[in-house]
């Protein structure tokens, strides 16, 4: 198996920029634990699918050898800027781009200075690989791709990694339930905005922890609709595609609210 580690993490900047707030600090601690696990995984490359990099026409992939700069989140700009510095695994990315037409998917590389790297990808890099040891493959979220198409992209990424002799860690960046508070709250009292969303989130996490992937896939459309899951929970589809639709189990390092929405940090144990 080319995938030596896999993670689900939230893409909100709040755990990074407001770590002292207890509900968000707990998620930050969870991401630190995931980062420590990644450091021990033996991965050569970090493959990231973020729900926040939106694409419409084609499937886009980062092919700029290095992307660095300062980013201001469009929602939480009052908490300050996010610095980032990433290098890309360009050969692996180009191999994936060349392979996607076989799936009926048009892909393009993005290679220009100052490209607006999304918050979720930056949060992934800064938390999971703070030392910037690993080159990255970064995939966009095409709004027209469904669950199965997104899963096929994860599968192609893993197949091309295996062909290239890469050991990869796969990260799906996105949230669980998506109902945020639409009014100001005392951030120290943040909680999941709707009780029914909390029930759904916990059900999904229970299925992941026990490795019940078929049950998860069966209820994912209902979860996406009733809990307003982030982008239809497609980031989970990408992870499962890379893992060949099989996991042994999962560890939930943290679960909690991000201004009413649901967020979790989950580490997957790939099936043998």
Condensed to tens digits (0 to 9), the pLDDT of residues 215-234 reads: 999 999 999 999 999 999 99
75 pLDDT band (50/70/90 cuts)? Answer: confident
User: What CATH number is attached to the domain comprising 27?
Assistant: 3.40.830.10
Report which secondary-structure segment, H or E, holds 69.
strand 66-71
The pLDDT tens digits of the residues spanning 27-70 come to 999 999 999 999 999 999 999 999 999 999 999 999 999 999 99
Do 129 and 58 meet the contact criterion of CB atoms below 8 Å apart?
A: no
Q: What's the mean pLDDT in 193-221?
A: 97
What residues form DSSP beta bridges with 6? 170, 268
19 pLDDT band (50/70/90 cuts)? Answer: very high
Do 266 and 36 meet the contact criterion of CB atoms below 8 Å apart?
A: no
Q: List the end-to-end C-alpha distance of the chain, in Å, as a whole number.
A: 8
Q: What's the mean pLDDT in 248-271?
A: 95
Q: What's the mean pLDDT in 86-109?
A: 97
Q: What's the mean pLDDT in 190-195?
A: 98
- How many residues can be counted in the chain? 272
Do 175 and 205 meet the contact criterion of CB atoms below 8 Å apart?
A: no
Q: Which domain holds residue 257?
A: 3-270
Instruction: Say if residue 24's pLDDT is above 80.
Output: yes
Do 149 and 60 meet the contact criterion of CB atoms below 8 Å apart?
A: no
Q: How many domains does the chain have?
A: 1
Closest residue by Cα to residue 9 from 254, 226, 259, 222: 254
């Amino acid at each position: 198996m080319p995938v030596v580690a896999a993670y689900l993490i939230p893409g909100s900047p709040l755990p990074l920029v407001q770590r002292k707030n207890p509900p968000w600090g707990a998620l930050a601690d969870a991401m630190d634990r995931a980062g420590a696990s990644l450091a021990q995984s033996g991965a050569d490359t970090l493959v990231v699918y973020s729900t926040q990099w939106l694409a419409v026409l084609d499937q886009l992939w980062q092919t700029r050898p290095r992307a660095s700069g300062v980013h201001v989140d469009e929602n939480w700009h009052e908490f300050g800027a996010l610095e980032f510095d990433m290098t890309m695994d360009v050969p692996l990315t180009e191999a994936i781009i060349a392979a996607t037409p076989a799936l009926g998917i048009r892909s393009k590389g993005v290679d220009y200075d100052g490209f607006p790297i999304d918050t979720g990808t930056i949060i992934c890099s800064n938390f999971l690989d703070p030392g910037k040891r690993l080159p990255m493959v970064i995939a966009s979220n095409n709004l027209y791709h469904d669950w199965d198409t997104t899963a096929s992209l994860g599968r192609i990424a893993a197949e091309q990694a295996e062909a290239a002799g890469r050991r990869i860690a796969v990260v799906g960046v996105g949230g669980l339930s998506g109902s945020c508070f639409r009014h100001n709250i005392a951030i120290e009292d943040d909680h999941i905005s709707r009780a029914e969303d909390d029930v759904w989130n916990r059900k999904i996490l229970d299925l992941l922890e026990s490795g019940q992937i078929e049950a998860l896939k069966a209820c994912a459309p209902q979860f996406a609709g009733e809990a307003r899951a982030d982008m239809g929970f497609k980031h989970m589809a990408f992870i499962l595609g890379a893992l060949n639709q099989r996991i042994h189990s999962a560890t939930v390092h943290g679960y909690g609210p991000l201004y009413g929405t649901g967020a979790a940090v989950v580490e997957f144990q790939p099936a043998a």
